[in-house]
Structure 1
Amino acid sequence: MRRLIVFFGTLLLSACEGRQSVLYPAGRDAQDVLALIWLMFGGAVLLWFLLGVIFVYVTRVKPREMPRRWGEALIIGGGVIFPVILLGALLTYSLPMMKPQRAAEEGLKAHITAEQWWWRVEYELPDGRRITSANELRLPTGRRTGLVLNAHKVIHAFWVPALGGKVDMIPGRETYLSFLPEEPGIYRGQCAEFCGASHALMAFETVVMTPENYEAWLKAEAADAAKPASGEAYRGAEVFAREGCGGCHTVRGTQAQGQVGPDLTHVGSRKSLGAGILAMSEDDLSRFIAHTEEIKPEVAMPGYDHLTPDDLRALAAYLKGLT
């Protein structure tokens, strides 16, 4: 019995804390989802207890033949009337939660497209212009931001457990979600729909900032890429151009205008690399560039293991300097 208690207790406590947990909400929508979870869990426990009491009563306390009238009342009451009342009450409580999670304040909108296996993120400004980023979402506290979701090739699902619910992303069809974050911090998001070989390696960071910091970041994000700040970074820019990286990637302010892969204009300022799977460091940049297909199976980008260690270090220094 003690071993069973320890085993099930461990299951209950595992994965219940951290920046990717529904049990630690950091936004209004996640709080509503958690309240609904506890309500349904409490109702399930109560129903299980009542059924257990009835079962023990009819099989142990008074095991006798049940009158037909009682049996019909149990079937109709427990099988029809009770579920209708329970589900009706649950829908009445939960459906009003959905509308605000689909709306957004004027001027705060981000377009997110799920690729294989990374995230294209575009921030829409009030004048209609868009600022393109990748594999990271930034949001201000205290304001509801609308997310316009789409996908390329296959179905994905967008989910940041600490900020709200999940929504499918379907090729050719826009779906909608919105977040109202309340606590600054970095929260992990994940694709929640199996989408291929690197599905488990398709994560992203959601950075929640104060409104003042968000506005300053958005202004900086709209600017062109920083110029190489060292001789090694300058040489890395030459390697970037020589290897044709600009055919797939965009670096605003340079001749690199590719649209196939993630926008790299400010890649060095992001919190993670490779869609949330590596740290944003020069060592990890070098490793990812050289062994891309080993780190992320079936990704479109080939590995550049033919580059010399000096070229890899220079290229990593250039990309890390794009802040």
Structure 2
Amino acid sequence: MNKRIKMTPLFLLLILSACDLRVLDPASETGRTIGSLIELSFLLMMIVLITVFILFAVFMQKYRAKDYTCIPPDRKENKWFEVTWTVLPILLLVVLAIPAVQATYSLTYKSEAEKGDLEEEGTHIEVTAEQYSFTFTYPNGKESTNDLVLPVDREVTFTLTSEDVVHSFWIPELAGKIDAIPGKETHLQVTPDEVGQYQGKCAEFCGSYHAEMRFTTRVVEEEEFERWREE
């Protein structure tokens, strides 16, 4: 019972912040990298929040007015405090920035020239977004709408574009969001490592039926993927 009481504020905070909890249940190395950054950010935020509330309570108690008719004297400056509350935020930003920059570079799209033949080393899927669906085109010409099938433990490269407005391609458990932009190609690489079914969605408001722009992602074994692709 005590454990539930302790966890309640955390769940309330996540709900109020509109956090998608599936991000914290990753099924790929990319998803785990992003999840680690979210957890680190949350930890730093809680450290700052708790510190501020503790100092607030201490100062309210220590410096509360006892005589409302007198004006308290001016306090001299405290250089130690001023340096501390200037340096600490910088240190916190550095602690967050280092892994964030490392993750950004590790997740950066690698071109075909760097990766070689995508058909031999992985799977290349073209994603076309339009109001209000995603169309997936595989190298052999097979197309599917709102039904994405991926092989487990194989790197997948998505090349995205849009037919109308800006959309955002997102599978919370597998990878971060990436925009699909009219007249421009964007790229995303991910290697799913757990068989299962995951929900994808458009994460950029794109019109009246934006909330219905969802798709199913199925990660299957290699043999099942090849059978499905050749059907």
When normalised by structure 2's length, the TM-score is 0.78
**Whole-Å separation in 2 of the counterparts to 1:52 and 1:193:** 35
From 94, 97, 107, the equivalent of 1:88 is 94
Amino acid at match of 2:162: A
Task: Specify the alignment match of 2:85 in structure 1.
Answer: 78
Number of equivalenced pairs: 207
Is the 8 Å Cα contact of residues 25 and 34 (structure 1) preserved in structure 2? yes
What are the residue-to-residue correspondences of 1:226-265 with 2, within 5 Å? Answer: none
From 119, 131, 134, the equivalent of 1:116 is 131
**Whole-Å separation in 2 of the counterparts to 1:9 and 1:48:** 13
Give, in angstroms, the shift of residue 146 of structure 1.
1.0
**Whole-Å separation in 2 of the counterparts to 1:202 and 1:44:** 32
**Whole-Å separation in 2 of the counterparts to 1:218 and 1:20:** 31
**Whole-Å separation in 2 of the counterparts to 1:45 and 1:171:** 40
Give, in angstroms, the shift of residue 45 of structure 1.
0.8
When normalised by structure 1's length, the TM-score is 0.57
From 180, 194, 216, the equivalent of 1:169 is 180
Q: Secondary structure at the match of 1:113?
A: strand
Task: Specify the alignment match of 2:68 in structure 1.
Answer: none
Q: Secondary structure at the match of 2:182?
A: coil
**Whole-Å separation in 2 of the counterparts to 1:189 and 1:149:** 14
1:147 aligns with 2:155: no
Is the 8 Å Cα contact of residues 26 and 35 (structure 2) preserved in structure 1? yes
Amino acid at match of 1:152: E
Give, in angstroms, the shift of residue 12 of structure 1.
5.7
Unaligned segments of structure 2, at least 5 residues: 65-71
Q: Where is the strand percentage greater, Structure 1 or Structure 2?
A: 2
Is the 8 Å Cα contact of residues 44 and 92 (structure 2) preserved in structure 1? no
Aligned-residue Cα RMSD (Å) equals: 2.9
Change (3 A) 1:49 1:214: same
| Larger relative contact order, structure 1 or 2 (CA cutoff 8 Å, min sep 6) | 2
Change (3 A) 1:12 1:60: closer
Amino acid at match of 1:183: E
Larger Rg: 1
Task: Specify the alignment match of 1:219 in structure 2.
Answer: 230
Q: Secondary structure at the match of 2:142?
A: strand
Q: Secondary structure at the match of 1:36?
A: helix
**Whole-Å separation in 2 of the counterparts to 1:206 and 1:120:** 12
1:207 aligns with 2:230: no
Is the 8 Å Cα contact of residues 148 and 176 (structure 1) preserved in structure 2? yes
Q: Secondary structure at the match of 2:25?
A: coil
**Whole-Å separation in 1 of the counterparts to 2:31 and 2:227:** 26
Q: Secondary structure at the match of 1:22?
A: helix
Task: Specify the alignment match of 1:282 in structure 2.
Answer: none
**Whole-Å separation in 2 of the counterparts to 1:152 and 1:89:** 40
From 132, 144, 149, the equivalent of 1:133 is 144
Give, in angstroms, the shift of residue 76 of structure 1.
4.2
Unaligned segments of structure 1, at least 5 residues: 221-323
Give, in angstroms, the shift of residue 103 of structure 1.
3.5
Quick one: percent identity of the two aligned structures? 31
Is the 8 Å Cα contact of residues 20 and 187 (structure 1) preserved in structure 2? no
